Amino acid sequence: MWIWLRQASASAAGKYGFPFLGSIFTGALFLESWEYLRSAPWPVMGLIITLSLLSLVFLVFVLNSWAKGATHPNYEPRYLARYKWPIWRTSWRFSNFLGGSCGSGRPVLTHWFQAEVRANWGRDIFPTAAYIQSRNSGERLPILVDVQRNGQVETYIELGSCEKMPSGKWLRVMAKIARSGNSEDALTREALISRFDGFNLVLEYRGGQFIRRFSRKEMLAVIDGFWDACNPPADDYVGPSLIKKAS
């Protein structure tokens, strides 16, 4: 009996004692910090409050960006959502970074690489080169973008030759994996991996560069997710049928 009581007491202390003591310590720390803030000069208090509000806004933004990630773990990898955060010089949206086509029972065909990019920090970016490069063959495909000049939209302009990327504006970019851009040149799963066994996305600009390495595993995850979306599992359930007795 006494042995059981000692064991139960030790278990309760471990389960509830440390959290209780931790709560007391946290409360004391909060009260001490509050007393310090009350006696602090107004400039210091204003700075602390401003930093706290900025930290809260940033936390909400990060959580919101993460929550807006893809619902399908392969078709739109959720972990790529962090590249949208404005803590780097450029932000990127990589949802469905391989664009293609498929149909029920037909293989997935990859036509292009696609993404969206934005210049951050209130300053324009002046690109010098932009491309994806195969990691096994070294083949380079230029990153293309639609630009507006003199009131007209020009399509498929190389991003590296553009004068600038305006700050705060999302640009939809792509690279043609199907050489002619036609569906006849689109690549099957096997042909894509043979030609691009992983690839690097490179954006070079005045004062810096951005590089993102996409692995074979990531590419296959997108393709397989696309296949799953086009070919949902069949409903194997057969409901009970009504049988009418012969009179």
Global confidence as pTM: 0.66
What whole-number distance in Å separates Cα of residue 51 and Cα of residue 84?
Answer: 22
Contact (Cβ atoms closer than 8 angstroms) between residue 158 and residue 116:
no
126 and 17 within one domain: no
Q: What is the pLDDT of residue 45?
A: 67
Q: Over the stretch 87-132, which tens digit does the pLDDT of each residue have?
A: 999 999 998 899 988 887 789 999 999 999 999 999 999 999 999 9
Do the domain assignments include residue 185?
yes
97 and 219 within one domain: yes
Q: Are strands 98-101 and 171-176 parallel, antiparallel or unpaired?
A: unpaired
Contacts with 245 (C-beta within 8 Å, 6 or more apart), sequence order: none
Task: pLDDT band for 151, please (50, 70, 90 cuts).
Answer: confident
The rounded mean pLDDT for the chain is 78
Number of structural domains the chain divides into: 2
Q: Over the stretch 53-64, which tens digit does the pLDDT of each residue have?
A: 777 766 655 555
Residue numbers of the domain that contains 179: 73-230
Task: Determine the average pLDDT of the residues in 200-225.
Answer: 95
HEC profile of 13-38:
HHHHHHHHHHHHHHHHHHHHHHHHHH
Q: Is pLDDT above 80 for 4? A: no
Q: Is 203 helix (H, G, I), strand (E, B) or coil?
A: strand
- Taking Cα atoms as reference points, which of 103, 134, 118, 92 lies closest to residue 219? 134
